[in-house]
Amino acid sequence: MKISTMRDLLGAEVLTCEENLDNQVFSACGCDLMSDVLAFVKDQAVLLTGLVNPQVIRTAEMMDMVCIVFVRSKMPSPEMIEMAKESGIVILLSNKRMYEACGILYSNGLIGNKVKS
């Protein structure tokens, strides 16, 4: 699924890296515990979260995620926005709750992924 399609489905605002909206994502992870995100199998994935601290960006970088969707209109700090820009990570801001946002993406073909065993 293209990031631009996710933006449209979620009615999201683009905060960073608008030039990367044509990039594809192949799976998604909805989580507020970054330790659980680290157990997620990476590969062109998107992270949906309501957690707003710099660790979110660092974790997404480590996992080679290409997009972060902040749900519930959670606004990342200017520092987080700058970190994402430097890493080429698209940040989307959605007013939807995580459950709803994940459901919308899943029902439109964006799958989850396996957890590392």
Instruction: Please indicate, yes or no, if residue 26 is contained in any of the structural domains.
Output: yes
Average model confidence (pLDDT) across the chain: 90
Predicted TM-score of the model (pTM): 0.91
Does residue 104 surpass a pLDDT of 80? yes
On whether residue 61 sits in a domain, the answer given is yes
CA–centroid distance for 45 within its chain: 7
Determine the structural domain holding residue 47 and report its residue range.
3-107
d(CA 1, CA 3): 6
CATH number at residue 74: 3.40.1390.20
Quote the pLDDT of residue 41.
58
pLDDT of 116 above 90: no
CB 72 within 8 A of CB 55: no
What does the alpha-carbon distance between residue 20 and residue 50 come to, in Å, rounded to a whole number?
22
Would you give the end-to-end CA distance of the chain in angstroms? 26
Number of independent structural domains in the chain? 1
R_g of the chain, CA atoms, integer Å: 12
User: In the 8-state DSSP scheme, what is residue 2?
Assistant: B
pLDDT tens sequence across 80-93: 999 999 999 999 99
Residue 48: strand pairing partners: 30, 69
